[in-house]
Amino acid sequence: MPRSSHYDLQSLRVFIVVAELGSLTKAAERTCLTLSAVSKRMTDLEHSIDCTLMLRQPRGIELTAAGKGLLAHARQVVERVNRMANEMSDYAAGVRGHVRVWANTSSVIQFLPHDVQAFLSGNPGVKISLEERLSDEIVAAIRNGDADIGIFADNVLSPGIDKAIYREDKLVLLVPAGHPLAALEEVAFADTLDFEYVGLNEGSSLLARLLDAAFSADRVLKLRIQVHSFDGICRMIEHGLGIGVLPEGAVRPEILAAGLRAVKLTDAWAHRALWIGTLSRETLSPEALRLYDFMSGHI
């Protein structure tokens, strides 16, 4: 059992730096502390927990299993303390409410900028913290309390979430100029699977939708390149490295001006819904409830 229930916050911050840099000396330089001060903080931290957190090696330190466990917890603790400090600073500056929103890329690119601006114009005392995340991460954040409100794709399981339709959008096929499919007005997804694709990285709800559709067609999605963003997909397609599927609202005029062509998909799944959800409307703060109702069309 730990010898003390007290954990010094500054020591946890220093521990995170030591773990990330893998060196007491480099951590001392980064934190503007002496090497002996860093070493003492680590020793005291190990003493308070009553187990070894790191092994001192000739070329640096190596975290033990306990050290890796503490690192995960320490990051969460420091992040929450920083969030608390920022929110208290906001209240001191006159902010009357703080709402944490996590949203997927499709909603951030297509709809949220306009909606957030419209809401804040009528609610200037509210601060919205917006994080762009994958849909499954958003659902998890709603459940564990990291997000007050989340916006996520309709093909992600979300049992126990109080949700409503936020927006509906359409997916289109984006192809480079001169591609065999560029002359078409519309196409079935199955008829595109002979060509190589540029897609999002693993974990994205859009990639899951494409993989499921390919599986249903008894075909394989030929992923040549995977990237983190819709912009990355567009750039790769522009250079002839494949074709891709994007929300229609993400295909900006300048993308089409660069010679790319957006082709309609005839598949029913290409019309999708984006959900807005919360753990419970009854437990939302007044400001968060007002934002939720505004964005779900209740007001």
CATH of the domain at 171: 3.40.190.290
147, 46: one domain: no
- pLDDT tens sequence across 86-116: 667 666 555 567 899 999 999 999 999 999 9
137, 237: one domain: yes
Residue 3 is assigned to a structural domain of this protein: no
Query: Of 60, 90, 120, which one is at a domain's C-terminal end?
Result: 90
Q: Could you tell me which residues are beta bridge partners of residue 156? A: none
40, 142: one domain: no
Query: Of 90, 106, 122, which one is at a domain's C-terminal end?
Result: 90
83, 172: one domain: no
228, 271: one domain: yes
Q: Phi/psi zone of residue 164: left (φ > 0), alpha (ψ -120 to 50 degrees), beta?
A: beta
36, 82: one domain: yes
Please give the pLDDT value at position 90: 60
Give how many domains the chain has, as a whole number.
2
- pLDDT tens sequence across 212-241: 999 999 999 999 999 988 999 999 999 999
Q: What is the CATH number of the domain that holds 29?
A: 1.10.10.10
128, 69: one domain: no
224, 195: one domain: yes
83, 117: one domain: no
Please give the pLDDT value at position 1: 46
Question: Which of residues 224 and 254 earns the better pLDDT score?
Answer: 224
**pTM reported for the whole predicted model:** 0.68
Enclosing H/E stretch for 149: strand 149-153
Please give the pLDDT value at position 87: 66
Task: Name the CA dihedral angle for 174, 176, 180, 183, rounded to a multiple of 10 degrees.
Answer: 70
Pairing of β 271-278 and β 162-175: antiparallel
DSSP state of 243: B
Q: Determine contact, residues 291/299, Cβ cutoff 8 Å.
A: no
What token pair was written down for 64? 């033990």
Residue 232 is assigned to a structural domain of this protein: yes
102, 249: one domain: yes
- pLDDT tens sequence across 5-57: 577 888 999 999 999 999 999 999 999 999 999 999 999 999 888 889 999 88
Q: Determine contact, residues 133/105, Cβ cutoff 8 Å.
A: no
Residue 63: name the closest of 122, 111, 17, 13 by CA. 17
Domain ranges, residue 261: 97-299
Please give the pLDDT value at position 297: 83
Please give the pLDDT value at position 80: 81
67, 31: one domain: yes
**Residue 242, SS3?**
coil
